[in-house]
Amino acid sequence: MAKHTLDTYFVSSTTPNKKARKAANDSIQELADTDNNSPPRAVIGTTNHPTYPWPIPHLPVHVVSEIELLVTAQGREIRDQPHLDLVYFQPFIPRSIERDVFNFLRAELFFYRVKYTIKRFGKETLVNTPRFTTVFGIDETSRFVDGDDNDGSRSRIVEASDPSKPVRRDKYKCRPRPIPECLDLLRRVTEANTNTQYNFCLVNYYASGSDSISFHSDDERFLGPEPAIASFTLGAKRDFLMKHKPPRDGEPKLETKDIKLPLASGDMILMRGPTQSNWLHSIPKRKGGEANRGRINITLRRAMVG
């Protein structure tokens, strides 16, 4: 994933200033004006938290009943190249509900376009990432529990997993957001299917074929060695490209082939073992075909260290 999305999530910082809050609100409005034409639905229940701009509804009953059956979903292992360990589900989320899940998440989740500055030749340049993002979860050194928030209201608050090591007030740059039930159900089912624990959820929204993400690996330090990452596609079909990293100094060049997987709505790719340390992946821009349709990418991972 892009380093500027998560690298600063688990580091200390001060309270965001008014300019930062305004930029986030503008980003929500920018997305709200794109393609959200979903009809209203009856709300069965909601997840709420002070960090949410609005309560997030639970998934519709017919979707929940099908997702709960996914603990038996079968994937195809891809391990035919050096350092490659994938499991490819076609699909994981059934075709009968994938469109409903996409429309629901597109309508009910909040997204931000990440903006950051870089310095080139001594001059700062503002960069707008070519996709929208939202983040939920917390690293394993902390957990969410029911308690009293700063204003005295009942909420999900953060406490240390180890009572002997209390959470520092400046530990997180952004106040962690608990995973809402509509995504947590998918997390629980994926844990049962992959025999892996996840506590962190990153959701990217690609509004059209012009949105993309360049070659990168999800090898941030806080994910620990050989992380397992479950990546779901909903909405438009997009190519998922992979290529082996160049050899380090003194290492021999390996015989590998680039990979292209046409991820369709409902598909899931599980990347595990040495994959992140040795392979790069990307979603390139797209013209024609489904380029005018949006795509949601949900990635589940386990954050080890805060």
Give residue 1's pLDDT. 43
pLDDT band at 25 (very low <50, low <70, confident <90, very high): very low
The better pLDDT of the pair 306, 267 is held by 267
Average per-residue pLDDT for the chain: 86
Tokens of 288: 């024609």
Q: Within 10 A of 133 (CB to CB), how many other CB atoms are there?
A: 20
Closest to 286 in 3D by CA, of 294, 297, 278 = 294
**What CATH number belongs to 3-301?**
2.60.120.590
Provide the percentage of residues in the chain whose pLDDT is more than 90. Answer: 61
Does residue 206 surpass a pLDDT of 80? yes
Give residue 260's pLDDT. 98
Residue ranges at the known binding site for substrate: 219
Give residue 12's pLDDT. 35
Residue ranges at the known binding site: 204, 206, 216, 219, 281, 295, 299, 301
Total residues found in the chain within this entry = 306
State the Cα–Cα distance between residues 227 and 6, nearest whole angstrom.
15
State the Cα–Cα distance between residues 229 and 72, nearest whole angstrom.
18
Rounded to 5 degrees, what are φ and ψ at 270? -100, 120
Residue ranges at the known binding site for 2-oxoglutarate: 204, 206, 216, 281, 295, 299, 301
Domain ranges of the chain: 3-301
- For residue 228, give every residue at least 6 positions away whose Cβ sits within 8 Å of its Cβ, in sequence order, or none: 194, 196, 270, 271, 272, 273, 301, 302
- DSSP-derived letter for residue 97 is T
pTM equals 0.84
- Region 41-57: what's the mean pLDDT? 87
Closest to 293 in 3D by CA, of 83, 89, 24, 35 = 35
The better pLDDT of the pair 23, 201 is held by 201
pLDDT band at 306 (very low <50, low <70, confident <90, very high): low
State the Cα–Cα distance between residues 139 and 159, nearest whole angstrom.
11
- DSSP-derived letter for residue 112 is B
Give residue 190's pLDDT. 97
Alpha helices, H only, the chain: 3-6, 18-32, 61-67, 98-108, 181-194, 275-278
pLDDT band at 213 (very low <50, low <70, confident <90, very high): very high
pLDDT band at 41 (very low <50, low <70, confident <90, very high): low
The better pLDDT of the pair 197, 6 is held by 197
- Region 119-133: what's the mean pLDDT? 85
As a whole number of Å, the CA-based R_g of the chain is 20
